[in-house]
Amino acid sequence: MTALTHPRLPARRGGGAGTWWSKAVLRAVEEAAFSAEDLRKGRALARAGAVGSITVAEGDAVAAVTDGQDAFTVEVTVPVLDDSDASAFTELVAAEAGRIGALLAGQLPHALVESVEEAGVELLPYGGELGSACTCEAWLDPCPHALAVLTQLAWLIQADPFVLTHLRGLPRERVLRDLHRLAPPQDAVTAEDEPAPEVVDDLVVAEDAAVRAARLLQRDSPFDAW
């Protein structure tokens, strides 16, 4: 299992516009909430910076949440894709030039998600898929602390769609590894195939785009817009 810890997000004002895919995740969080009051408190905790660093792994994420003088540990869960669905996702990413580069640059193309859904693969979660457990001993899950963590996960997914694929069982390294496996060998390309190595070229361009995007993200945090 691959785990990646994302640093604590700073406090912020309001919810911001977000991206279409982060809005979709936030809608799932809304669906999962048992009451508007719990949702409001969860959002308030998230905006106040009460959620600590979030460790994301295949199928779950863990974080500490501070609430007044107390601190609680929250684990949220998302079903992972089975091997068949994971393979279908990777193949659909590789099927069209530009998709790999978009993901590495922090974008989630709408056309890609539509293709994934048409193939019967659930990438974006819905409310009933979001599980949680918290040490606050609330009567119902998700409690406001879990909703705070889920809200901040949506913010992380806004900046990096690989956080979403990681939760679904496909960390960034696995996606890139599987894409390289799908790419045709260079010596197998013939004149008839040109411009056949789109996937190979796309990976090269995408890696360069990812480096540039990472530098921009370090210089200008995307969370400032929230």
Checking if the pLDDT of 42 tops 90, the result is yes
Distances (CA, A) of 97 to 90, 111, 130: 13, 12, 32
Residue 160 pLDDT? 96
Residue 213 pLDDT? 46
Contact predicate 114/5, CB 8 Å: no
Question: Per mean pLDDT, which of 8-17, 61-70, 217-226 is the most reliable?
Answer: 61-70
Residue 97 pLDDT? 82
User: How far does Cα 32 stand from its chain's mean position?
Assistant: 17
> If you write DSSP's letter for every residue of 87-100 in order, what string do you get?
HHHHHHHHTSTTHH
Residue 196 pLDDT? 43
Lowest-pLDDT range of 117-126, 169-178, 179-188:
179-188
Q: What's the CA gap between 107 and 32, in Å, rounded?
A: 25
Question: Residue written as tokens 């009460």?
Answer: 50
Which tens digit of pLDDT belongs to each residue from 77-112?
999 999 999 999 999 999 988 999 999 999 999 999
Contact predicate 132/151, CB 8 Å: no
Checking if the pLDDT of 188 tops 80, the result is no
Checking if the pLDDT of 226 tops 50, the result is no
Contact predicate 21/64, CB 8 Å: no
Checking if the pLDDT of 223 tops 80, the result is no
Prediction pTM value: 0.82
